[in-house]
Structure 1
Amino acid sequence: MYDSYSGLFGPADEYFNHQTTEPFASPVNSDPRFQDRCYFNLHTTEPDSFQLAFGMGNYPNLAVKDAYVIGRHGAAHFNILFSDDLDKRYRHELAVGALEIRVVEPMRRLAATLTDNPYGVTFELEFTARAELLMHKMLDKRFDGFEYLHQSHMTQGGTWRGEVRIDGQAIEIANYLGARDRSWGVRGNPPGSTDHAHFDALGRRLLGQSRYIWADFHFPDRVVHACCITDGETGEHFIMDGAVVPTEPDGRPPAHFVDWDWELGAKGEDGLRSEVALRFHDSHGGIHDYALRKIGNTFLMPHGWDDEKDDGNYRGPGYHHGFRKNLSDPADLAYFKDRPTYYHHTLVEVREGEEVGYGIFESFIHMTDLC
């Protein structure tokens, strides 16, 4: 293979897609938090059955890339992390550890492969869009003069086919519902920062006292996306976006959500909640009410692996880490209860009037409130 004597020139630079004078290996922003990321989910519609989420990111200004695979099959819950050095000239090669993602048809079809690894989970999957992608409003938020968030963001609903194998047991994936999320830009605390006082204060303000949701809901003729973070005390929206996207485009842009609220259901005898009512107001004056009922759960670990390092931190070449938990074992379930930094990645049945849909409702609520 020919290489470049000019340092950062790489294969992506052969295409006429440049928007700055820099090669693709060099982001125009030198912030160490600059990142390119993607996320996918797929699930059944059966209670406590099968869920899978995976994704990856690269951090060109840190020369780091990482990826994760998280899921459940019945009560068996697994979490896997990969991390490696990033050759910035080859950022377009979407592979970290055993996980690889391939663009089959831009904006319509993508494929994902998880090859043999020490954790007993492999898959060959393909995503096909069932609705147009939703380009969210530019996320741009500052706190006390500090740029905490500045990134582009899109989401898209689709279906999956292929096969997942867990400890040699094959699970056929045939038209499973799911979604993908794509973002790039600057967000969060600086990876590797040793002075956490200011950034931790921002994090507590952003998430600790706030209402946060990320959602994708599938109905027969539409997909609903939402991403919202609102200050629980002042009502200020840090992030407020989403929309209803029809599966058959009508030529009109979707009406983006401009406000939202929720009502948590009562706690059961076990002290947990399993129902939420959501209301969104859109830019055309429309109101969208959804009644959610939990039918499954997985636990994402974006900031709190066992090594307590955030995304984008350097863990060494060829790093991997994983573990299993049994969600029917109270001791294993307590492992997640004791870690409030976990996202609760909840499979829900969704009702809008008489119509029934299914999807993922992700929240940053402690498990004693909702799981």
Structure 2
Amino acid sequence: MAITPADDFLIHQTPYTFDRVATSDRNFYDRYFFNGYSPDGAVYFGVAMGQYPNLGITDAAFSIVVDGRQRVVRASKRLGPDRMASAVGPISVEVVRPLHELRVRVEPNAYGIEADLRFIARSLPVEEPHFFRMAGNVPVMDYTRMTQHGGWSGTIRVDGREFALEAARWWGSRDHSWGIRTVGVRDPRGAPPQQPPQFFWNWAPLNFPDLCTLYTVSEHGDGTRWHQSGVILTPYPDATMTEAAVDYRLKFKSGTRWLESAVITLAPEHGEPLEITFEPLYAFLMKGLGYGDPKWGHGMWVGEDAVDGTEYVLSDEQPLQNLHVQQVSRVRAGSREGLGVFEIIVFGPHAPTGFKEMLDPAP
């Protein structure tokens, strides 16, 4: 343990210094995620930065879709004792005004992506219901997540091509989650699981001119829900938050487990239900931010001060080899039109949507 800058604040939650977390579980993590999109949805970017104190690693990635190509710059390094040092390689995140403004920067690098951006909150922050899931006797998820909608200002450059972002027109969302969730190399824990793996995950933060919404559903293979939440928010300056019950109707593209279309319903206790339809435009591959990447996955050791980049041609990517995606979508709720993403993973059987095997595609 060592005294760090964070220890100067009156915010301790344990008897230890801030470089040590309360649990020794190797899978403890603390991560930022951001996304953003142009007014027509044609340009989309995502950002991830995570710390893994019990693995001694921190990593980050910035990935952007332009003209059907998803570009990536990513970095990883030894964490060190100062957990307030939120910079990895060329990528940094600065909390300018907590819960209202954050700054994301990507300094010049060999992979042609640069950015200097500010996320300005449009909505109140939402604490989603706590995530807890067991695999047999072992907790594999035990974490908190806060989600917030916002607008982006600043610039992004890709190979010298510049995009000027205005917060009133370039919208997006962010989350900050922390706790226990599988990270790093595969963790062999005792007896093998008795049931085959299965995961059904929906998460959809959306922005409309006068509303922001959040929908999330996770279900077991028989359709019983182990996590769900729905929120309808009005933007600042008169920000409000209304919780809502949630439901969905999903249609999958033939031969895939990606959505062809979707309808979700947010039903507040008082007032009329809000029905939202999705028109998916394309899929952003979450492996570009480290989710499931075999080498650059979250908490994977790739070396001291490592920086790397890659590119995916989206039309060449196979859907059944990329189950975890955010489908950038136009959305409609009555006369309202907006933008957002439908993040989805459907792995293994799921009775309500008709999947029976590990990877059988939609008919």
TM-score, shorter chain, exceeding 0.5? yes
Q: 1:369 to 1:214 in 2, by over 3 A?
A: farther
CA 1:103/1:186 → structure 2, altered by over 3 Å: closer, same or farther?
same
Deviations 1:336-355 (A, max 9, x none): 435234x2211111111222
Amino acid in structure 2 at the alignment position of 1:216: P
| Residue 240 (str. 1) matches residue 228 (str. 2) | yes
Give 1:358's aligned residue: 339
Contact 2:257 2:346 (8 Å CA) reproduced: no
SS at the partner of 2:301?
A: coil
The partner residue of 2:79 within 80, 86, 89 is: 86
Q: State the SS of the aligned residue for 1:13.
A: helix
Mapped pair 1:347 → 2:328 = yes
> 2:103·2:119 contact (CA, 8 Å) conserved in 1?
yes
SS for the counterpart of 1:274 is: strand
Deviations 1:253-307 (Å, cap 9, x if unpaired)?
52144x4222316659x99753211224445586332110012332111443253
Q: Which of 261, 268, 275 is 2:261 aligned to?
A: 275
Q: Deviation of residue 122 (structure 1)?
A: 0.6
Which sits farther off after the overlay, 353-362 or 25-34?
353-362
Per-residue Cα deviation, 1:134-159 (whole angstroms, up to 9, x for no partner): 11122222232211111111100000
The one-letter code matched in structure 2 to 1:217 is: L
Is 1:42 the counterpart of 2:36? The answer is yes
| Aligned equivalents of 1:37, 1:238: Cα separation in 2 | 22
Cα pair distance change 1:17/1:312, threshold 3 Å: same
Give the match for residue 99 of structure 1: 91
Residues in 1 aligned to 2:63 and 2:360: alpha-carbon distance in whole angstroms: 21
Counterpart contact for 1:261–1:278, Cα < 8 Å = yes
The counterpart of 2:149, out of the listed 131, 143, 157, is 157
Taking the aligned partners of 2:361 and 2:211, their CA distance within structure 1 comes to: 29
* Structure 2 counterpart of 1:310, one-letter code: G
Q: 1:263 aligns with which of 237, 250, 265?
A: 250
Alpha-carbon spacing, 1:290–1:62, altered in 2? closer, same or farther (3 Å): same
**Cα separation, 2, equivalents of 1:289 and 1:150:** 31
Identify the residue that residue 3 of structure 1 maps to in structure 2. Answer: none
What CA distance in whole angstroms lies between the structure 2 residues aligned with 1:227 and 1:145? 25
**1:358, 1:171 → 2: CA distance?**
18
Matches within 5 A, 1:1-371: 7-47=1-41, 49-88=42-81, 90-175=82-167, 176-188=170-182, 191-193=184-186, 195=188, 204-205=197-198, 207=199, 210=200, 212-231=201-220, 233-248=221-236, 254-257=242-245, 259-264=246-251, 267=254, 274-282=260-268, 287-301=273-287, 302-305=290-293, 307=295, 310-328=297-315, 333-334=316-317, 336-337=318-319, 339-341=321-323, 343-365=324-346
Structure 2 CA distance for aligned equivalents of residues 97 and 122 of structure 1: 12
What is the CA–CA distance in structure 1 between the aligned matches of 2:196 and 2:18, rounded to whole Å? 31
Within 2, Cα distance between the matches of 1:199 and 1:85? 31
Q: Cα deviation per residue 1:40-81 (whole Å; 9 max; x = unaligned)?
A: 00101325x200001100001111001111221112221232
Moved more, 22-31 or 278-287: 278-287
Task: Give the partner amino acid of 1:181.
Answer: D
In structure 1, the partner of 2:354 is: none
Partner of 2:356: none
User: What SS does structure 1 have at the residue aligned with 2:6?
Assistant: helix
State the AA in 2 paired with 1:139: F
Q: Normalization by structure 2: what TM-score?
A: 0.86
Contact 1:344 1:365 in 2 (8 A): no
The CA RMSD measured in Å over matched residues stands at 2.8
How many Å apart are 1:229 and its aligned residue?
A: 1.2
Q: Structure 1 unaligned runs (5+)?
A: 1-6
Corresponding residue of 2:353: none
Change (3 A) 1:200 1:91: farther
SS at match of 1:156: strand
Q: Given residue 344 of structure 1, which amino acid in structure 2 is its aligned partner?
A: V
Contact persistence 2:231–2:241 (CA under 8 A): no
In the alignment of these two chains, the number of paired residues is 347
Cα distance in 2 between the residues matched to 1:271 and 1:41? 22
- Per-residue CA deviations over 1:191-244 (Å, capped at 9, x if unaligned) read 334537967777822x2xx3x21111111222111222112x322212212311
- Taking structure 1 as the reference length, the TM-score comes to 0.85
